[in-house]
Chains A and B, each alone.
Chain A
């Protein structure tokens, strides 16, 4: 019950944010936080709950982004048509790539996903139909509302918020389903899970496909907001890194972990870009690298795990003293 109240308060604040902080920079910042939170939450299904650290999620991000822009550039269709196309394409790619790749465990899986992402980028760079190194652009002047090309960040903010809520509800529903239990069992010990009869391969593949579909929606929304996609912004390995770091910083395998991570890192990056300009370009990733190393070394559970532990400790403390007092009572 208390959890529900906190959630409603948080939701009300998130809905009110762009009205309270109404400058274009702040609204854009809010939209970007939500956007990255969508992608990081989608990654969380495979990387956090299932414990399969994918560094190639940008492939699915790119599927969505290229589908949304491709639908416009080649067929003059609204990005709204591109989104489902991107989901279908992305889930198909996930199934094809996932079957051989998910057999690999630990480091091997991560390495294979890096290679898949780099391969996809190299192929797209050499494909004229996908705009090669230049990329694809969306509508320069919107024909109607369904082109989703707005100057203000406000419509994007609410669009992203709705998508994020859907993503989180799906994740929440999944974690409480049979699949969620299987995934956590696989993360803790795949061999034990298998020996107890959990269909590990199938469950991992389903999780990978679900995660891929949701990530592609994030990619499509990204392309819609920026109005273009090129191999670096749509398929660069650094997008994967950002997604992964946000989830890990907030807390991989926790529902709100990715959102917390995005809410910390996106403002950090945007503000450093704003005030340091071009000089900040390299520095941002130096900071990212340092943060990743520090999380890995000191707090692999992420910030939310740390906070949860503190809350649990504080709640437990008064109860203990009470119990001790009772024991000492005559």
Chain B
């Protein structure tokens, strides 16, 4: 195998880890409340703009931008839960879909209006240079983003499976009335889930911003990537999202390398539809 191909695969895995990170937020909320956040990709976009603002206003890198993005987005997530989702969840399907869809438009075009439609990028040397690893050249920014995303996604999985908070959240998603009888407040748990999910998108956005183009409409593409990842990994499963995210990252960079960058989205969307149509339970899950 040529070095170029290995490099493409490694690049895909690193990007895929970031996909896995923000998709695990979507899958968490989905599994718990059966609500799809159509604004999920736009949350990631906001995380990217937080990183951009931190750089342009304060000159700071991801070390400052990432924690700030996590805090701001988590706050936004909790506000969205109490202000919108809690009420819309009880309403008809049309209201649920319209609610987060409207939120997506509101966020996307507020940023568009404020910052304009221009493509922005952070300077390439913000996270220093490239690293040579056994002849494979990797940009340090991608390496940092991939590794951090991977660790945080694993951490999220541990949080959900190994802590009492995780058990309480699982209890609410299994049966919220029964959980309430056990003294767990579904409302708080769901709000926390929204906080975690949105915080994950904030981190993912701040990480991806170091090497990705930053534009208000990027959330649309990233949102679909998250849908693909979640549908591939099984709705509600964080480990599934991790595997699927890495897979999507590799498939994307492979198709960009083999048949051209224009077609990489076509491949991903086709994959998504294929899975929804023929295997809605995902690769591993059961419905």
Residues of A within 8 A of B (CB): 47, 51, 53, 55, 100-101, 103-104, 106-108, 110-112, 114-116, 118-119, 122-123, 126, 237, 241, 244, 248, 252, 279, 281-286, 288-297, 300
CB 8 Å contact bits of B26-45 with A (1 = contact, 0 = none): 00000000011010000000
Smallest CB separation, B263 vs chain A (Å): 8
User: Which residue of chain A has the shortest Cβ distance to B88 in the bound complex?
Assistant: A296
Asked if B166 lies at the interface with its beta carbon under 8 angstroms from chain A, I say: no
> Secondary structure at chain B's binding surface: helix, strand, loop or mixed?
helix
Smallest CB separation, A100 vs chain B (Å): 4
Q: Restricting to B71-99, which residues have a CB under 8 Å from any CB of A?
A: 83-84, 87-88, 91-99
Smallest CB separation, A115 vs chain B (Å): 5
User: Is A107 within 8 A of B36, CB to CB?
Assistant: yes
Residues of the A chain whose Cβ atoms lie less than 8 Å from the Cβ of B99: 292-293, 296-297
Known contacts A119-B273, A122-B269, A296-B91: A290-B106 contact under CB 8 Å: yes
Expressed in whole angstroms, the Cα–Cα distance for A123 and B263 within the complex equals 9
| Size range of the chain B interface in the assembly | 35 or more
Q: Restricting to B123-145, which residues have a CB under 8 Å from any CB of A?
A: none
**One of B109-117, B149-157, B189-197 contacting the partner:** B109-117
> Secondary structure at chain A's binding surface: helix, strand, loop or mixed?
helix
Asked if B49 lies at the interface with its beta carbon under 8 angstroms from chain A, I say: no
User: Is B277 within 8 A of A101, CB to CB?
Assistant: yes
Asked if B218 lies at the interface with its beta carbon under 8 angstroms from chain A, I say: no
Supply 16 A–B pairs (Cβ within 8 Å), ascending by A: A47-B94, A53-B98, A110-B36, A112-B273, A115-B273, A126-B262, A126-B263, A279-B113, A282-B109, A283-B109, A283-B113, A293-B103, A295-B95, A296-B94, A296-B95, A300-B92
Residues of the B chain whose Cβ atoms lie less than 8 Å from the Cβ of A103: 277
Residues of the A chain whose Cβ atoms lie less than 8 Å from the Cβ of B273: 112, 115-116, 119
User: Is A297 within 8 A of B84, CB to CB?
Assistant: yes
User: Is B280 within 8 A of A286, CB to CB?
Assistant: no
Residues of B within 8 A of A (CB): 35-36, 38, 83-84, 87-88, 91-99, 101-110, 112-113, 117, 216, 220, 224, 227, 231, 262-263, 265-266, 269-270, 272-273, 276-278, 280
Expressed in whole angstroms, the Cα–Cα distance for A286 and B109 within the complex equals 5
Interface centre among A53, A115, A241 (most CB of B within 10 A): A115
Residues of the A chain whose Cβ atoms lie less than 8 Å from the Cβ of B105: 241, 285-286, 288-289, 292
Residues of the B chain whose Cβ atoms lie less than 8 Å from the Cβ of A112: 273, 276-277
Smallest CB separation, A107 vs chain B (Å): 4
Smallest CB separation, B278 vs chain A (Å): 8
User: Is A53 within 8 A of B276, CB to CB?
Assistant: no
Expressed in whole angstroms, the Cα–Cα distance for A282 and B216 within the complex equals 10
List the 5 shortest-distance A-B pairs measured between CB atoms, nearest first: A292-B102, A289-B106, A289-B105, A282-B113, A296-B99
Residues of the A chain whose Cβ atoms lie less than 8 Å from the Cβ of B84: 293, 296-297
Contact of A111 among B36, B102, B110 (CB under 8 A): B36
Expressed in whole angstroms, the Cα–Cα distance for A57 and B194 within the complex equals 30
User: Is A110 within 8 A of B220, CB to CB?
Assistant: no
Contact of B270 among A111, A119, A289 (CB under 8 A): A119
User: Is B276 within 8 A of A295, CB to CB?
Assistant: no
Residues of the A chain whose Cβ atoms lie less than 8 Å from the Cβ of B101: 55, 241, 292
Contact of A119 among B97, B107, B266, B280 (CB under 8 A): B266
Contact of A285 among B95, B109, B269, B280 (CB under 8 A): B109
Expressed in whole angstroms, the Cα–Cα distance for A101 and B278 within the complex equals 10
8 more contacts with CB within 8 A, not counting A51-B93, A300-B92, are A51-B94, A115-B273, A119-B270, A122-B265, A241-B101, A291-B102, A296-B96, A300-B95
